[in-house]
Amino acid sequence: MAKGGGGRRTSEETKERLLAAAGDVLREEGYAGASARAIAARAEANSALVFYHFGGVDQLLLAALDRSSAERLAMYRELTAGARTLEELVAAATRIYRTDLERGYITEFSELVAAAVTKPELRREIKVRAEPWIAFIEQEWERVLGGSALARLVPAREVAYGAITFYLGVNLFSVLDEDHSRTEAVFDLATQLAPRAKLLTLRLPRRGRRDGDVGFAEDAEEDA
C-alpha cells in the first residue's frame, strides 16, 4: 500500500486521523454531534471505517479519550513533580485547569460523562477511565501533604473526588460563566488561602517517640 505523496493511507494512518477527528468533533460539536459521518468527514475518510477500525462511534470516542488522557497524565505528572508546598500544588492545579480549558479537554471528558447518564455501558467505561486521575490526585496530595494536620482533616481520596466533581461542574457552569471569571475566582481564592494554611501543612511529630527525640512523619519513611 502506498504511503504519503498523495498515495493511499495505511491502516494506522487512517486510525490516527479518525482518533484526532473524534477528539476535535467531541470538543467542538459535543457528543450529540459526534456521529460517524461527522467524524469521518473531518478525517477525510469513509464513515464505514469508524466501525471497521473501532467497532462503533462510542468505542472510537473512548479510544480518543484514552489517547488524550495518557498524554495529559504524562504532562501533568511532570508539572506537579516540582510541587513541594500547598501553594505550589495549588499553582500546578490552576495551570492544569487552564491548559485543559484552552485545549478543550474539559469538554471532551464532560461530554462523555453527560452521555453516560443515559447509557449504562458507557458509564462503566468512563468510571474505569476516571480512576487513574483520582489516583493521580491522591498521590500528589499525599506526597506533598501526607502526615500533616491538613491531610488528616482533608483525606486524599475526598480531595480527589472533590477535584473531579469540580472539574465536571466547571464545564456545566460555563453556560453561566462564559468568560470563566467566576471559576478563576475560585482558583484565586485557593491561591490566597494556601499560604495561610502553613501551620496545617507542617508534618506532625511521630507518635511513640521517646522524650527529646522529635521526629516527623517524613522521617518515618527514611527509618523504614
User: For residue 184, what are the CA distances in angstroms to 68, 83, 137, 170, 174?
Assistant: 24, 21, 20, 10, 12
pLDDT for 6 equals 46
pLDDT for 7 equals 52
Query: What is the sign of the dihedral through the CA atoms of 21, 27, 28 and 32?
Result: positive
What angle do helix axes 86-103 and 120-145 make, rounded to 10 degrees?
Answer: 150
* Model confidence pLDDT, tens digit, residues 145-190: 999 999 999 999 999 999 999 888 887 787 678 888 988 999 999 9
Predicted structure pTM score: 0.81
**What type of residue is 141?**
W
* Model confidence pLDDT, tens digit, residues 70-110: 999 999 999 999 999 999 999 999 999 999 988 889 889 98
In the block, which residue shows the cell 513533580? 81
